[in-house]
Structure 1
Amino acid sequence: MTQHDTRRPRNILFLMTDQHRVDTLGCHNPAEVSTPRLDALAASGTRFERAYTPTAICTPARASLLTGRLPFRHKLLANYERNVGYIEDLPSGEFTFSAALADAGYRLGLYGKWHVGTHRKAADFGFEGPDLPGWHNPVDHPDYLKYLEENGLPPYAISGHVRGTLPNGNPGNLLAARLHQPVEATFEHYLATGTIEALHRHADEYRTGRRPFFLATHFFGPHLPYLLPEEYYDLYDPEAITLPPSVAETFEGKPPVQRNYSALWTYDTLAEDVSRKLIAVYRGYVALIDFEIGRILDTLRDLGLDDSTAVFFTADHGEFTGAHRLHDKGPAMYEDIYRIPGIVRVPGLPSGQVRREFVGLTDCTATILDLAGLDPAQAVDGSSLLPLLAGEDVPWRAELTAEFHGHHFPYPQRMIRDDRYKLIVNPESRNELYDLETDPHELHNRHDHPDLADVRRRLTARLYTLLRERGDNFHHWMSAMSDTGPLDHDPSLAAFETGSDVYTAP
């Protein structure tokens, strides 16, 4: 276990969004969007250009953050709303960073989305704050209704519903609507206000030397449906929106499930001007959250906690918003939903850094532990980011992996990407290989292209090795169906011919 360095900040503020595209941040896309508060946070700390989720689905990703373990290890593989038979809560006895911090004397708070299981609430993991379950803003929650009443604010009401048409002719999922409330009445403002009030309480305890704090704000947005007051609903001009190049998607040479998911999300039933408006409103949603994060960060500064508090900003996964003729997320491992924001500011460490190492949510777990003076290796699938945040040139992973287990139905996938190429293994149909340098929008599946045969073999063998080393049993499928290279074991799990558990390749 590492010794706590008293020069390190002990408090931690963790800001998280849900279903958040990287290109909606000004620090990533200054020509099209403005997020001044998050851009300032990035300028005062480190922005990770290549931050990724371990899986593009809420509950498993959030469970990985909490445990520091990949989904195949913690086994919480699906959102409970669409659960198709997987477990619904983390197994008892599973390591969590919250328990480790509590044992180290931290006060824990969480305001916002929990969505880590069905029965065990945030309070069961040591977090103070209102219990806010589910995948969308729970606008009927008693604590939120009390907030509206105490502040003389109008109730939730929407109009102008935007939705497409499903293949069976029924109305599609709600995608956006106008919210008839002022900003002060929005759920986002309510969450920021709760965080601010908690900061005041935690600051008093920290100043008196009683205990440091870990405080998280988990916004439910910019997850669809995008429900915004007028000033943010109309903040961006739809006519100035450029549709993503991947709307040219044909799904030729791709797994058929992607075409089915496009139909589920009704993209082709929406007019082009509606698709532009949805992108505009989504960016407006990010702008609203940026404003609320500014309120929280201003409070941190006004309380004199800047020099003693590390700040994280990230998301559980991305969002399609029309890319590849899709919305939401699902069984398609594109950059749009696997790449996430990654900003960390640690007082005393360099500002204005942009790092290109592959990092992820489990690395945040390891870093939280390290900041608290605890052993970061307890996050078994993460590595502390502190050396990178300090500007050090240290050995780091040369590739990243991701996994998916299903949403609406079981659908196993594994992915590996390196600096240029991405390989995706889809047992139900066809595998995918993308050259992200020549095809950054992932329109052309080159898995069977002869010019990339060596790349395919290299990434297949590397993914197989990593999965086997970790104990991810998906590797059994690959040993039978993919060119994984010479085997040094019996993938059938039975040595009928040799009478030994050691396999000799023919």
Structure 2
Amino acid sequence: MRPNVVIFMTDQQRGATLDPGHRLRALTPNVDAMAADGVRFSRAYAPSPHCCPARTSFMTGRHPIEHGVWNNVNVANALSRGPRPGTPVWSRDLASAGYALGFAGKWHVSNTENPWIRARADQDQPWVSYIGPLGPHDPYQPPQEFLDQYDPDAIHLEDSFADPMTDKPALYRRIRDRFDQLTEPEHREALRHYLAFCSYEDALFGEVVAAVAESGQLDDTIFIYLSDHGDYAGDHGLWCKGLPAFTSAYHVPLVIGGRPIQAANRGGVVDAAVSLMDIGPTLLELCGAEVAHPMSGRSLVPALTGEPIAERDLLLATEGNETYGNQRILLAGDWKLVVNMFDRDELYHLATDPGEMKNLLHRGDEPRAVGVPEETRVPEELRAVVEDLYARLWRLAVGYGDDLTNGYILTALGQYGPGVAASPRP
């Protein structure tokens, strides 16, 4: 018998809310119970820090630079209004394999209650139910009963809250300045509301699991709990998502539980970097459906059966949203490289600087240097690492058909532009 699937995608929940011991760990007993019987992925990332690009990548298994959704398509000045014509989605592959598909929540067509999962209990056809609640997206307005679970005196902002960001792009500081109208106690209260909102989403997830159990389908169902992207939640004095490029806007929770988990692997934690693009290939394999179109994601099924999955580089991208700015981000092991078309680039060593406080490419207020090769402005001990990271980033971008790899000045004349991927220096 083929499995049923519940996909529960929250909106704007950062991965740290499920990380044990983290300062931003939320109270999530229902997701914790699922993780105890399933597998948690500690380094899951959205390909974009915006809803529409990230969700399109989730549904297609492809990067935003492949499917063409750069921004939230409903904003007035959107550059992209939808995927490129002919872009395939893996839900159609599941339908072709005989699955019934249900959709509820964000972008739903009605507010009418529809007991869809319970109605499937008496039918032989396997099903996939996608559920998309609206939280913990701003405005952070959880029910009072969940707010009461958090002691205001126990709420602490991340250390990066005090980051002056003098080594970051000026646009970052401009965005941060908008939030500086809040006092520090008001920032902490906002964080309390955000964490309480995460707890509310956990309670909703618990109701879904209970409905599946009550209908007698628990043992035949796969559960996937995840989010479309993260939230700065006070990091660097910022809130919400999008520009800048700090990891908290890209890092998302991901737990897979239920039927496919081998007993010996229950409660496991996978530390390899994975992407929302991986969910499609994973579900098609678990459900025995044909992969009808190429996807950039990869199946996570080996991780569910206790097999290791290889570490890999991840390419993240944004064009901004209402405020535009081209960014390409490479996550490569402990390194994170940010290419900014609008300001200085960024380099962080995440193992020693998880808060992304020190931009290793910042050169300070140096005088203009005419005729000086750009690589000489990089600290000598980092030059080999920097060139390798740029080459890996541009190699991925070129391979995925990124339009940013063009002949215009900022890209083409960069010392570490796309050419470094094709023409390694001696």
Partner of 1:95: 88
Match of 2:391 among 461, 485, 489: 461
The aligned residue for residue 232 of structure 2 is 320
CA contact (8 A) 2:229 2:249 kept: yes
Larger-gyration structure (1/2)? 1
2:57 alignment partner in structure 1: 64
8 Å contact kept, 2:23–2:158? no
User: In the alignment, is residue 238 of structure 1 matched against residue 152 of structure 2?
Assistant: yes
| Cα deviation digits, residues 372-406 of structure 1 (max 9, x gap) | 21234735111111111111134x24221100011
Partner of 2:205: 293
CA distance in 2 between counterparts of 1:485 and 1:104 reads 41
The aligned amino acid for 1:331 is: L
SS at match of 2:271: strand
Q: Distance in 1 between matches of 2:77 and 2:389?
A: 31
Q: Distance in 1 between matches of 2:420 and 2:209?
A: 53
Matches within 5 A, 1:444-455: 444-447=358-361, 448-455=378-385
Aligned equivalents of 2:424 and 2:175: distance in 1? 43
Query: RMSD between aligned alpha carbons?
Result: 2.4
The DSSP-based 3-state class of the residue aligned with 2:180 is helix
Question: Deviations 1:102-123 (Å, cap 9, x if unpaired)?
Answer: 1222111111113xxxxxxxxx
Partner deviation per Cα, 1:338-384 (whole Å, 9 max, x = no partner): 11001111414231110111111110011121122123473511111
Q: Does 86-95 or 461-470 show the bigger shift?
A: 86-95
Q: 1:200: which partner in 2?
A: 118
Aligned-pair CA distance for 1:62:
0.5
C-alpha separation between the residues in 1 aligned to 2:296 and 2:258? 22
Identity %: 32
For residues 465 and 377 of structure 1, do their structure 2 counterparts lie closer, same or farther at Cα, with a shift above 3 Å needed? farther
- Counterparts of 1:120-199 in structure 2, within 5 Å, are 130-131=108-109, 143=111, 194=114, 197-199=115-117
Q: CA contact under 8 A between 2:18 and 2:25: conserved in structure 1?
A: no
User: In 2, distance between residues paired with 1:238 and 1:26?
Assistant: 20
Residues 35 and 379 of structure 1: CA distance in aligned 2, closer, same or farther (over 3 Å)? farther
Structure 2 residue corresponding to 1:332, chosen from 227, 244, 247: 244
Partner of 1:493 in structure 2?
none
Quote the Cα distance in structure 1 between the aligned partners of 2:9 and 2:237.
26
Decide which of 350, 366, 372 is 1:436's aligned counterpart. Answer: 350
CA–CA distance in structure 2, aligned partners of residues 488 and 106 of structure 1: 43
Q: Which amino acid is 1:312 matched to?
A: I
SS for the counterpart of 1:391 is coil
In the alignment, residue 293 of structure 2 is paired with which amino acid? Q
**Partner-residue secondary structure (3-state), 2:413:** helix
Displacement after TM superposition at 1:31 (Å): 9.0
Q: Which letter does structure 1 place at the counterpart of 2:109?
A: D
Aligned residue identity for 2:182:
L
Between the aligned partners of 2:335 and 2:117, the Cα distance in structure 1 is 43
Which letter maps to 1:381?
Answer: S
Change beyond 3 A, Cα 1:31–1:91:
closer
**TM-score between both structures, scaled by the size of structure 1:** 0.75
Q: CA deviation at 1:464?
A: 1.3
Distance 1:215 1:504 in 2: 48
What displacement does 1:321 show? 1.4
SS in 2 for 1:458: helix
- Say if 1:365 and 1:379, in contact at 8 Å, map to a contact too: no
Corresponding residue for residue 370 of structure 1: 285
The unaligned stretches of length 5 or more in structure 2 are 362-377
Shift of 1:99: 1.4
How much has 1:292 moved relative to structure 2? Answer: 1.3
Q: Can you give the 5+ residue segments of structure 1 that lack an aligned partner in the other structure?
A: 1-5, 115-129, 133-142, 148-193, 490-502
How far off is 1:288 after superposition?
A: 1.0
1:471 maps to 401
Match of 1:347 among 259, 271, 278: 259
Q: Flag the 1:462–1:377 CA change in 2: closer, same or farther, 3 A.
A: farther
**How many corresponding residue pairs?**
404
Report how far residue 30 of structure 1 moved: 8.7
- One of 21, 27, 32 as aligned partner of 1:39: 32
1:267–1:63 Cα change, 3 Å: same
| Greater mean deviation of Cα atoms: 399-408 or 444-453 | 444-453
Deviation at 1:472, TM superposition (A): 1.4
Shift of 1:259: 1.1
